Structures are given as C-alpha cells and as structure tokens.
Chains A and B, each alone.
Chain A
Amino acid sequence: MDTPRTAVIAPEALEALIGALRDRGYRVLGPKLGEGAIVYDDLESAEELPVGWTDRQDAATYRLERRDDEARFGYAVGPHSWKQFLFPPHVLLWRARRENGGFEVEEPAADDRPLALIGVRSCELHGIAIQDRVFLGGTYADRDYEARRRDAFVVAVNCFEVGGTCFCVSMGTGPKTEHGYDLALTEILAREHRFLVEVGSERGAEVLAGLPAREATTTDVEDARSVLAGAAGRMGRSLDPTDLRGLLAGALEHPRWDDVAERCLACTNCTLVCPTCFCSSVEDVTDLAGGEAERHRSWDSCFSVDHSYIHGGSIRPSGRSRYRQWLTHKFGTWHDQFGTSGCVGCGRCITWCPAAIDVTEELAALRTGEED
C-alpha cells in the first residue's frame, strides 16, 4: 500500500471541514461538551468542539478538566460511541395497517442525509468494523444499519491524550488509525498548533482539496510520529490477550465469577457505553383500536433477566451467570461467533461502571488460580 497522502491544516481549518461536509449534504456529528462529559452530537460549527478540555478517567471515575492549551481533541473517549448513530438505541422498523382482511406493511423512509463522523478514534474504528461484521457479515444484513453505514464519512483522529482506562495497545486496536477512514487527523501541539492530515479515500482527498492546507514537511511527520509513540506508551490499563478464548472457555466455573457477582449491580452501563455491544430487543405494539401496528427495535442488554427468558423462566437468572455471559462473550465466544474479539480496549466499561469493576483485572484474575 502506498504511503497515505498527507497535508497539514491549521486548527481553524476544521470550521471549513465541517462546512464542506455540510455543504455536501452530510449530517455532521462530533464531540462537544454536554452533561458533564464529552459526548457525540450534531455539530454546527468547529467552535462547539471541546476546545482545551480533557478527561480524567479511572474505574468508576470520569471528570472533565481544563487543559492549558487549545487542543481540539485533547481527551480520550466519553460515554458515547458511534453506535448510537449507526445502530440507534431506538428505531421504528415498520408500520402495518389492517386492510383487505390482512395487513399492509410500510417501511419508514430512511433519513436521507448520510452521516459524517468527526473525531473517530482507532478503537472506535475497530468497534465499527466489529459491528459491521455482526450486522452486515451474516446471511441477512441489517438493512437499517447498512443504510446508515454505507455512505458514512469518517474523519478519524489519532489519540495523543490517552485515557486512564485505555488498553487499545493490549487489544491491538490502536492508538494509531490504520484504515477505515476518509481522513485521519493527528493533532500536533509542539512548535505550532496544527494537524497532520492523512488521506484514506478518494472522497477524503476530494474534501481535503477544498480546505486551506499546505504540504507536510518531514518535521510535521516526525512530530506526528512522536505524538503517537508517546500515546502508545501511556496506556492506563493493559491485559494479556493471549488465547482469551481458550482461557474463558475453560473458566466457566471459576470462583472469580462469584466474586464479581457480589459487586456487579447488573445496571447495564457497560453494555450501553460499549461500542460493540449489539444486543437488541423487538417490541410489537398496536393502537387502541387494533388497526395499526408498529414494530420497534431498541437496545437490550444481556444483564437484564428478561434477556434469556424462554417460556417458563430465564436461562440466566443469577447475576453471576449474566456477568459471566457478558465477559465470556466479549472476550471469548465472540471469536467463535464472529471470528474476532469483541473488545477494542476503549476502557469505557471500566470508567462507567458504578461498582468500579475493571475487566482487565477480572481477566487477570481468571488467568491465575485453578478452579476449585
């Protein structure tokens, strides 16, 4: 593969980037401050980016802090992942009306605007790829996901500010973005605040061509490289990923499950913030007269007792079995089902767990000690 084409833009050019994408009809989504965190939402302008903000993350801890510079992407990841736009929490699948003795189905029109995602991290690119496999890699594609995903424009960002719960290096998913983006930005604060831009696709090149940019010099490239090397060395967490599939398959009765079950509240936070969790539920509803029906799809979590309900009762009534299901699926049986790991090392589940359960700790504990 060729060395990606590169260029350098000033921070101010981000406004032009957002404008260019909006002019092309994209719904532009990106990071901004909201609800005490950095969340993903519609972006009207580059001024809405979390300029000069960073996050302090640890188990059950997330705090915003001011930086002493004007970095646009000087933070790790917040509670949101891009799945909330590609695989929205709540979707109307179809409507049906009683007619001619039967019923007529009407599928809702898709939102015409393709999505432009600004600020996608390497772990998130991997997360999107993992969900691509789930929703598009089987015999039947999820049409809703496919429609949103197909034309999505991705502006990736290489991390330089690593989170306290990040472990993408252990999972082999970062911090450097490899592919899956139209443009990738590396924010450089040394010397002059600027961005090294790497082109990942033809339409990425086309958008870049309309921005005020200059050629990248060797200094630019070197500065970018050292930014990334620094990030890789400051991971907040790590784990040994060696044959997690085999480890978990053999540890289904490990005493650690009882231990974590005493801490886990089954609050489903981890599944909500995880970029790869894909479980959903379906609800069929009707109006009072019974003439119109709708089918809705919404996010579901394997932590809920209902998740495994089958006539008579739940297969997994205990908290122990549900935590085990989640962890062994994410790191183990995901391989059997989809051919990859389900975890991208983003650390969200550690940050947003109110009980401060740390998957890297749990997996390390499962590695040590024999089953009794």
Chain B
Amino acid sequence: MRTIETLLQDVPIFQGMSDEALELVSGCASNVHFDDGETLFREGDEANVFYVVRHGRVALDMFVPARGAVTIETVDPGEVIGWSWLFPPYRWHFDAKALGVVRATVFDAACLRDKCAKDTAFGYDLMGRFTQVLIERLQWTRLRLLDVYGNGR
C-alpha cells in the first residue's frame, strides 16, 4: 500500500515539490472516503481542511433561492478543493457533494498553516502553488461568464 507521500507526488499541485516539503505536507494529510451523495462541507461551515480528489467526482454547488442547488463546477481526480482555509474567517463559500464514490486526501488546515508560519520558504512555495490554481480557476470562470455559446444577443 502506497504512503500518502507517494500518492501526493502524482498530484499536479504538488508537482516538483522537494521530498522534505512533501513530507511536511503529508504530515498533515490523511485519506478519506465519501459515499454517493455525501456532503463534504456546506457553505458557511468552518473551512479547516482542503481536499485533493483521488478518485471520483465532487460537485461544487451553490444554493440559489427558487432554483435550489446549482452545480457551478465539478472537481475530478488530481484537483484541489478549497482555499478558504488560507485566510480568515476560514469559512466555505459553497457546498461540496460527492457524485458517486469519492476517495480523497484531506489536509488539516491548522496543521499546514502552522508549518507555513514556522518554515516561511515552504509557506511561500505552497502559497504560490495555490495561487496558480486559483488563477487558472478564475480564468476558466471568466470564460464561462462570457457565455460564449450564447447566440450573441
């Protein structure tokens, strides 16, 4: 059975991280399992973790009055869920639900924040990696905002 550290090597956000850094990260990580339909977290909950999906698909939903739960994005294996753990007030901004069986690695936010504070070089590197993911997600979201498949009216 592979260690979390080995598994993390394949995850894009951690690609190229040094062995020492990966050790730091995996020290805050553990594996977790969700059944179909199980909620990972809800909007407003305390965001004291983040996830990397290893198998399955997670739907990120927002609840809109009169519309119900609207899926705004899905997250597939290799991708990260969550950056609300980075800065106060550490609250989730959307719901997350498992679409089918999901296996993920969950990271303890307080544990990682602590390590970032103690080892600023490690912290800077980790922030950089998360920022890159955020930027990419923002660009994709902007593309969807343009509603390019609309008929131009």
Contact = CB atoms under 8 A, between A and B. Distances in A.
A–B in direct contact per CB < 8 Å:
yes
Interface of A: 311-313
Interface of B: 151-153
Contacts of A312: 151-153
Task: Give the 6 A-B residue pairs with the shortest CB-CB distance, closest first.
Answer: A312-B152, A311-B152, A313-B152, A311-B151, A312-B153, A312-B151
Nearest to A311: B152
Chain B contact residues: helix, strand, loop or mixed: loop
Contacts of B153: 312
Contacts of A311: 151-152
A312 B152 CA distance: 4
Nearest to B150: A312
A313 B151 CA distance: 11
6 contacts: A311-B151, A311-B152, A312-B151, A312-B152, A312-B153, A313-B152
Contacts of A313: 152
Nearest to B152: A312
A312 B147 CA distance: 13
B149 to A, nearest CB: 12
Nearest to A312: B152
Nearest to B153: A312
A312 B151 CA distance: 7
Contacts of B152: 311-313
Nearest to A310: B152
A313 B153 CA distance: 9
A311 B150 CA distance: 11
A312 B150 CA distance: 10
B98 to A, nearest CB: 39
B153 to A, nearest CB: 7
A311 B153 CA distance: 9
